[in-house]
Structures are given as C-alpha cells and as structure tokens.
Amino acid sequence: MRADKKHLESVYRKFNRPEFIHPDPLEFVYRYRTAPDRETAGFIAAALAYGNVRQILKSVEKVLKPMGASPSGWLLKTGEKELAGTFAAFRHRFTSGQELSAFLLNLKAVLEKHGSLEKLFLKHYRPADETVADTVYAFVNAFNAKACAPTLTPCPEKKSSFKRLNLFLRWMARSDAVDPGVWKSVSPSKLIVPLDTHMFRVAKELGLTARNGTSMKTALEITAGFRRVSPADPVRYDFALTRAGIRKNNV
C-alpha cells in the first residue's frame, strides 16, 4: 500500500460514495433535514460508535426512535425524569441507560444554553491552531460540565484519541458525497483522523506511524502524514480507506 496522492485518490474515487455508507452510523444523520437534528442525531450516533457495527446501528435506533421526527426538539421539551425513564432499560456494551441519560441531559443542557453543539465548539475553536486537538479537549470538558458519561464522552485526561468525536467532526465539517457538512465555520484542514482499528492498521501499512498505541499523539502523527498529501483536507481519505479495509478489498 502506498501513501502517494495518486493511489489515495484512486481509493477515494472507488469507495467514497453514498452507496457504501451502509452499514455506518453516519446514515442516521441523513435521516433528518435540519442542522439541529442532524448534529444531534450525529452526536448520539458517533458517541455509540464502538463495538460491532450491527449492534451500533441497533443501539442508535433505540435511542433515536423515541425522539420522533426531531431529536433536538424532543430533548428540549423532555424533562429529566421522563428522559431517564425512557432509557432506563437501555444497554450498549459498557453503556448503561443511566449513563446514556446523563449524556443526553448534557446534550440537552448544551442546546438550551448555547443553541447548538456547533456554537459550543466554536467558543473554544481557534482557527490559527494547526488542528482542533485543544478545541476537542475544551469542548469535551464543557460538554461534561453537568456529569461525566465516560463510555460516551471520555474525559480528556484519559489521553483518548477521541476517535468518535473526531468522527463526528468529520461528518459535520466536511462536505462531499459521503460527509454532509452540517457545520460551516470549522475548517476541514483542522480535523484529526478518527483513529479506529481499521485506520490504525491502514496507517501502519502506509508507513504513517510506528507507534503501537492509539493515543491522540498517534492520531495527530497519522493526520500529519495525510496533511502532506492533502493539506486542506487531511481526513479526506478516512472513509474510503476504512471502508475498503472493512470490505477486505486490496487497496
């Protein structure tokens, strides 16, 4: 496998297409039309994006179904007691209904106080920074202000690569045949590669990292490698490369 632009663009053209989105939690974002509902559904879907993909899709469906046509509207009008009761029996791997409720109450608080996740993110966003790494840390701390939901929004001091949050940011900030580009104020050039096991394996094969752990340092090193090929959009190849790997194609 090679990290040259010609090869990466070939993989991008082959796999970065809407028909390859399923099965992927991104598909839930396309279920809604408005920006508030797309970012709300996307944040929930990305937070639960760990484990087997089929189970991820089932779990996200269980959360979004009671919210009806407008997840953001449902959160804003639903009280804490009703919300907790709705998801009391929920379970997704290590995430309990109680933790999910804490996460959703944090999300509700952000919508009430800031109007959107994007506005909270922009409060900490510094366009002069090379990446959104520091913004991610500050955003998560602010989001977790009411209570921590560690399996969904890990605390920054855990040195996580924030794979799921970086995945959400890819969906929100990029716009192409796969990513919907809901947000307009965060530059794709600042994004960090969502470092899951597929991307870690691919990056190793491409020679973009020699590290053994999937920390934020590793994610930043891999992102820097892609930035040399695509300075304005370093996560451009993320979906195509990981989709090719999942489908066990020779890329």
High-pLDDT (> 70) share of the chain, % = 95
**R_g over Cα of the chain:** 17
| Cα distances (Å, whole numbers) of residue 74 to 33, 36, 56, 251 | 15, 11, 21, 43
Q: What is the pLDDT of residues 31-57, one digit of tens each?
A: 999 999 999 999 999 999 999 999 999
Model pLDDT, residue 110: 98
72-90 mean pLDDT = 98
The closest alpha carbon to 46, from 59, 32, 35, 33, belongs to 59
pLDDT tens digits along 110-147: 999 999 999 999 999 999 999 999 999 999 999 998 88
Average pLDDT in the chain:
94
* Domain ranges within the chain, ordered by starting residue: 5-246
Residue 14 reports pLDDT greater than 90: yes
Q: Are 64 and 33 in contact (CB under 8 A)?
A: no
Q: Output the pLDDT for position 249.
A: 46
Least confident of 24-28, 61-65, 67-71, 152-156: 152-156
Is pLDDT of 246 > 80?
no
Query: Is pLDDT of 13 > 60?
Result: yes
Which of the four pLDDT bands, split at 50, 70 and 90, describes residue 159? low
- State the SS3 of 106-164: HHHHHHHHHCCHHHHHHHHCCCCCCCCHHHHHHHHHHHCCCCCCCCCCCCHHHCECCHH
CA–CA separation, 108 vs 102, rounded Å? 10
pLDDT of residue 156: 74
Confidence at 169, pLDDT banded by 50, 70, 90: very high
Q: Flag whether pLDDT at 2 surpasses 70.
A: no
Question: Distance from CA of residue 185 to its chain's centroid?
Answer: 17
Looking at the predicted structure, is the pLDDT value of residue 250 above 50?
Answer: no
Query: Mean per-residue pLDDT for 203-225?
Result: 94
- pTM score, whole prediction: 0.95
pLDDT at residue 185, as a whole number: 97
Alpha carbon distances (Å) from 212 to 120, 151, 158, 184, 207:
33, 22, 17, 35, 13
